[in-house]
Amino acid sequence: MIPRRPYLSFPVVLCFLVDLFFMSALLTGSRCASQEVPWLSAASNQAVPRSYFGMTINNIGGVTPWPSVPFSQWRLWDANVAWPWLEPQRGVWNFATLDLYVQIANRAGVGLLLPLGLSPTWASARPLEPSVYALGNAAEPADMQDWLTYVTMVATRYKGRIHGYEIWNEPNLTGFWTGNVSQMVELTQEAAAAIHAIDPGALVVSPAAEGPNTTPGSGSPGTNGVQWLQAFLAAGGGQYVNVIGYHFYVMPDPPEAMVPLIAEVRQVMQQGGVALMPLWDTETGWQTPNPFPSEELEAAYVVRAYVLAWLSGAQRFYWYAWDNHTWVSLPLTELDNKTPTLAGQAYGTIQTWMGGAVAKELTLDSSGSWIVEQQRGGVTQWIVWDPYGLAQIDLTYFPGADTVTPLSGSPSPLSGTSLDVSEIPELVSTTEP
């Protein structure tokens, strides 16, 4: 595993990022010169839709009640409904769990994304090969007809009720995929044709590669995710999908490290002829540092990740995960899988802050603080934080503003000549259009 860049080097990385991608930054010590950053995303004039906020939930209907925070989209991963669970033996089907999930989601008005891989042991080209899950799960199917039978069965049963299908999970990691790129393109082509013939309105999401290299703690070596996506598109895989999926894991770095990674992926999309295709972050969370320095910082990472992914061009973002306590170090619920942590509460708060707003400008001030200006219904707001720690922002950055709302708190009057900011985002707002 290639060692990750330590957190303390991130100020240099951030300044280099701004200089490289936006060509307006100058280094001044460990921080950046004050500047307005040219817009990051082609979606800059779009209001943040409800569908941007997705969630992975592992155990709904079992030990996990329906979440108390809102979300619009639900990804069914690590939920015992991939191919090995749906068809444990050839021709023997078990839809009880997936039927329950679909019923719950449809009743709640929540969209569903179903990842289609892995291969069951009985269908695997290498049934004795280890994987992150059971033997043979990471290999390609030995017989394409088995794959087509499975995809056809699922798309037929859930026509109009499952809205998207993700071909495979993290194919750049050998714990999830040991076939080659050409084989994955073939699986994608066959699955997309079958799905669209049955349910033309369903979206096919590309196999979602992960991170710069490998996921720390996964025990799964792999290749660079961006390079894997580049190879997939070069082999023609983009013509069969409706959405490019990617997992923007950057741990143990902070969320600001997502920005250059998303920029790399968007560049690869442009080179691969799919620049106008939607880009979805179908899985991101944090597994390191473990433990986190504080619950407040956990909450801050959730907010900063959602803000920065949107600014960078992601049009949907599924958090991993609502009720996972075995792998993640940034949990959204307490051990009861019900009570939101501060991070879980922040997941709800950022929807209130961002939902329906149009981002207008991103500024990095002279202290390195991030200032995101947005508008909603004629009211101007700013989401502000400093990834380095404590700083002060001159109130001239917020013309007309009169309130400030902490991440976990109520609005208070804005006074004085400057605003104290930290790693924990705050919302500065005007009250009149």
Q: Is the same domain home to 177 and 242?
A: yes
The C-alpha angle with vertex 73 and arms to 67 and 75, in degrees rounded to 5, equals 90
Q: Secondary structure of 278-341 in the HEC alphabet?
A: CEEEEEECCCCCCCCCCHHHHHHHHHHHHHHHHHHCCCEEEECCCCCCCCCCCCCECCCCCCEC
| Residue 220 banded pLDDT, cuts 50, 70, 90 | low
Residue 2 lies in a domain: no
Question: In the prediction, which pLDDT does 35 show?
Answer: 53
Question: In the prediction, which pLDDT does 41 show?
Answer: 55
Task: Tell me which of 374 and 215 has the higher pLDDT.
Answer: 374
Q: Is the same domain home to 252 and 203?
A: yes
Look up the pTM and report it.
Answer: 0.92
Q: How many helices (H) and strands (E) does the chain have?
A: 9, 20
Q: Is the same domain home to 352 and 363?
A: no
| Residue 212 banded pLDDT, cuts 50, 70, 90 | confident
Mapped onto helix, strand or coil, the DSSP state of residue 116 is coil
The C-alpha angle with vertex 338 and arms to 282 and 108, in degrees rounded to 5, equals 60
What's the Cα-to-Cα distance from 47 to each of 52, 178, 315, 358, rounded to whole Å? Answer: 10, 40, 11, 4
Question: In the prediction, which pLDDT does 222 show?
Answer: 74
In whole numbers, what is the pLDDT of the chain averaged over residues? 90
Q: Is the same domain home to 182 and 319?
A: yes
Q: Is the same domain home to 172 and 303?
A: yes
What's the Cα-to-Cα distance from 125 to each of 114, 171, 183, 202, 221, rounded to whole Å? Answer: 23, 16, 12, 28, 20
Q: Is the same domain home to 149 and 224?
A: yes
Each residue's pLDDT tens digit, 360-398 = 999 998 889 999 999 998 899 999 999 999 999 999 999
Residue 224 lies in a domain: yes
Question: In the prediction, which pLDDT does 250 show?
Answer: 96
Tokens encoding 115 = 């990842």
Indicate whether 6 pLDDT > 90: no
Each residue's pLDDT tens digit, 158-209 = 999 999 999 999 999 999 999 999 999 999 999 999 999 999 999 999 999 9
Each residue's pLDDT tens digit, 221-236 = 678 999 999 999 999 9
Tokens encoding 350 = 């950022």
| CATH of residue 388 | 2.60.40
Contacts of 149 (CB under 8 A, 6+ apart): none
If you search the block for the tokens 């009057």, which residue do you land on? Answer: 413
Domain that includes residue 12, residue range: 7-39+359-429
Question: In the prediction, which pLDDT does 45 show?
Answer: 82
Over range 256-276, report the average pLDDT.
97
Question: In the prediction, which pLDDT does 44 show?
Answer: 63
| CATH of residue 230 | 3.20.20.80
Q: Is the same domain home to 330 and 369?
A: no
Contacts of 349 (CB under 8 A, 6+ apart): 303, 407, 408
Each residue's pLDDT tens digit, 52-71 = 999 999 999 889 999 999 99
Question: In the prediction, which pLDDT does 61 show?
Answer: 86
Question: In the prediction, which pLDDT does 2 show?
Answer: 25
Tokens encoding 386 = 């400093």
**What span, in angstroms and rounded, lies between the C-alpha atoms of 191 and 184?**
10
**What span, in angstroms and rounded, lies between the C-alpha atoms of 170 and 177?**
7
Task: Find out whether 33 and 26 touch, Cβ atoms under 8 Å.
Answer: yes
Q: Is the same domain home to 394 and 253?
A: no
- What's the burial of 399, exposed, middle or buried (CB within 10 Å: 0-12/13-18/19+)? exposed
Contacts 24+ apart (CB under 8 A), 19-24: 20/260, 21/259, 21/260, 21/263
Residue 255 lies in a domain: yes
The rounded percent of the chain whose pLDDT value lies above 70 is 87
Mapped onto helix, strand or coil, the DSSP state of residue 98 is helix
Q: Is the same domain home to 122 and 145?
A: yes
> Of 357, 380, 413, which residue is a domain's last?
357
Question: In the prediction, which pLDDT does 148 show?
Answer: 98
Over range 414-418, report the average pLDDT.
94
**Start-to-end C-alpha separation, the chain:** 52
Question: In the prediction, which pLDDT does 13 show?
Answer: 37
Residue 45 lies in a domain: no
Indicate whether 12 pLDDT > 80: no
Mapped onto helix, strand or coil, the DSSP state of residue 207 is coil
Tokens encoding 161 = 């009720």
Task: Tell me which of 38 and 356 has the higher pLDDT.
Answer: 356
> Of 333, 357, 381, which residue is a domain's last?
357
Q: Is the same domain home to 15 and 156?
A: no
How many structural domains compose the chain? 2
If you search the block for the tokens 């620049």, which residue do you land on? Answer: 275
Indicate whether 142 pLDDT > 60: yes
Quick one: how far is CA 253 from the chain centroid?
A: 15
Q: Is the same domain home to 222 and 300?
A: yes
Indicate whether 21 pLDDT > 90: no
Question: In the prediction, which pLDDT does 365 show?
Answer: 86
Residue 236 lies in a domain: yes
Q: Is the same domain home to 424 and 326?
A: no
Q: What type of residue is 305?
A: A
> Of 306, 322, 357, which residue is a domain's last?
357
Each residue's pLDDT tens digit, 296-339 = 999 999 999 999 999 999 999 999 999 999 999 999 999 999 99
Residue 242 lies in a domain: yes
